[in-house]
Amino acid sequence: MRTDLAASYGEERLPRYTSYPTAPHFSPAIGEGAYARWLAELPAGASASLYLHVPFCREMCWYCGCHTQIVRREGLIAAYLRTLRSEIAQVSETIGRRIKVEHIHFGGGTPTIMAPEAFAELMAAMRHSFFVLPSAEIAVEIDPRTLTADMVEAMRLSGVNRASLGVQSFDPVVQRAINRVQSYEQTASVVDMLQRAGINGINFDLIYGLPHQTVASCLDTVRRSLELGPDRFSVFGYAHVPDFKKHQRMINEAVLPDGPARHDQACAIANALKEAGYVQIGLDHFARPDDSMAVAFEERTLRRNFQGYTTDKSEVLLGFGASAIGHLPQGYVQNEVQIGAYAQSIAAGHLATAKGYGLTDDDRLRADIIERIMCEFSADLGDICARHGAEAGAMLKSASRLKPLISDGVVRLDGDRIAVAKDSRFLVRSVAAAFDAHLDPAKQLHSRAV
């Protein structure tokens, strides 16, 4: 990676482009009526992926950017899960048939905070309302500090085959600074439990740019993580947005790494994982060469959605739970963020859609370009534009932010094909942003580019 480019572009705040347009552009103009209509219009052969948001944790990690809240009373969790099951049935009834499901993802918060029997009931509700294929990937995000053997058994019996473990850092100094003390032994024990249950798809989530973090501590975390043999890593830069996430004010900004230090940490982690034999997937994922995600990257079939990089080919993502986002061919929808408002909507027999976005033809064109850039570090504008009935020349002319990137050697332009230079791939979000017609640089709503 080039440090001069990190200094030039790294401080800019840009989307991660898990959607286009991004969530800040959603509006209440798209509500329950639009979502119901879009669901009813799904074609007969459509398949879907399901995302279930469980917005509860036992304690707050101060770096967290998710929609979650701390809960002690089990009754609150049970009530929320009843609402979730009602929403699942309601959406299926609105579609009018049991459509095929190829991917299910439980996110949070801490999805495994629920009782094991409640998890089994939730899976049964999904199988009742949707045709979950026997080959479906069923993934669960896990906090290793609270996972129990009973929950692992419930996951096994329910067909879970992938687990994503939050690790972040094994440095105890960093852990105390982010209010997430989690020993290596706890993590190793959870990996062992999962593998003994036959849940062999293991992801580790790491973060750089945390308070007190150094290149040395990042490399030590990678070394210890490699001992546990996950088949995938997600490596994210910490997004410090205390104006939006009030609990982040508990983090001392004076001990946060600056831009160049973050850049060095990201490079060190990426190099260590690649030296260990992992393939870098797009911006922030790493996978073993024989993993399905690495294969999809090699075959240029990799996709991107709200969970990041994915092998999921479905054009329909149905989001369930407070704040959950869905994606349909017609556009995006997001549920009420507040749990109370979400529950009231469902209890009244309404879809809980609070806002969304209806896609235009230009949005779909730009979304395809941005997805290819994010997934492949390149895009054949001639081919993509032709499929959308557009002109590549006009698209290039509209991408004024591309010119300095070409001048600085970040991007190579060969006819209508653009490619991100290998030593500049850490700036892939900057390249994608060149095609973002909605981007407003004055609004600092996103994480830093590096």
Measured between alpha carbons, how far is 87 from 253 in angstroms, rounded to an integer?
41
- Here the tokens at position 65 are 């950017």
* Dihedral, CA of residue 31, residue 98, residue 89 and residue 357, to nearest 10: -10
Q: Which residues contact 13 (CB under 8 A, 6 or more apart)?
A: 444, 445, 446, 447, 448, 449
pLDDT value of position 446: 53
Q: Determine the 3-state secondary structure of 287 from DSSP.
A: strand
pLDDT value of position 443: 59
Q: Residue 184 domain-assigned?
A: yes
Q: Determine the 3-state secondary structure of 105 from DSSP.
A: strand
Q: By the 8 A CB rule, do 98 and 131 touch?
A: yes
- Helix H or strand E encompassing 128: helix 116-129
Reference 206, options 179, 172, 234, 173; nearest CA is 234
pLDDT value of position 244: 85
Reference 103, options 48, 45, 140; nearest CA is 48
Number of helices (H), then strands (E), in the chain? 16, 19
Phi first, then psi, for residue 90 (nearest 5°) are -65, -45
Q: Residue 228 domain-assigned?
A: yes
Q: Which domain holds residue 270?
A: 3-320
pLDDT value of position 6: 72
Q: What is the CATH number of the domain that holds 218?
A: 3.80.30.20
The pTM score is 0.93
Q: By the 8 A CB rule, do 227 and 185 touch?
A: no
Amino acid at 409: G
State how far the alpha carbon of 298 is from the alpha carbons of 290, 292, 307, 339, 421, in Å. 11, 10, 20, 41, 17
Q: Which residues pair with 310 in a beta bridge?
A: 303
Measured between alpha carbons, how far is 112 from 144 in angstroms, rounded to an integer?
10
State how far the alpha carbon of 327 is from the alpha carbons of 9, 295, 303, 386, in Å. 30, 25, 13, 24
Q: Residue 442 domain-assigned?
A: no
State how far the alpha carbon of 35 is from the alpha carbons of 25, 40, 204, in Å. 17, 9, 34
C-alpha triplet 430, 433, 435: angle, nearest 5°: 135
Q: Residue 257 domain-assigned?
A: yes
Q: By the 8 A CB rule, do 281 and 309 touch?
A: yes
End-to-end CA distance of the chain: 11
pLDDT along the chain (450 residues), means of 10: 69 88 96 98 94 96 91 94 98 97 96 97 98 97 96 98 98 97 97 98 97 98 98 95 91 93 94 97 94 96 93 95 97 97 98 98 98 96 97 94 94 96 91 94 56
User: What are the DSSP calls for 54-77, one per residue?
Assistant: E-EESS--TT--SS-EE---HHHH
Count of domains for the chain: 1
Tell me how crowded residue 214 is: count the other CB atoms within 10 A of its CB: 16
- Here the tokens at position 210 are 């945390």
C-alpha triplet 406, 408, 410: angle, nearest 5°: 65
pLDDT value of position 4: 73
Q: Residue 162 domain-assigned?
A: yes
Cα 340 off chain centre by? 25
Q: Residue 425 domain-assigned?
A: no
Q: Residue 358 domain-assigned?
A: no
> What beta strand segments (E) does 250-330 contain?
279-281, 285-287, 303-305, 308-310, 317-320, 325-328
Q: Residue 392 domain-assigned?
A: no
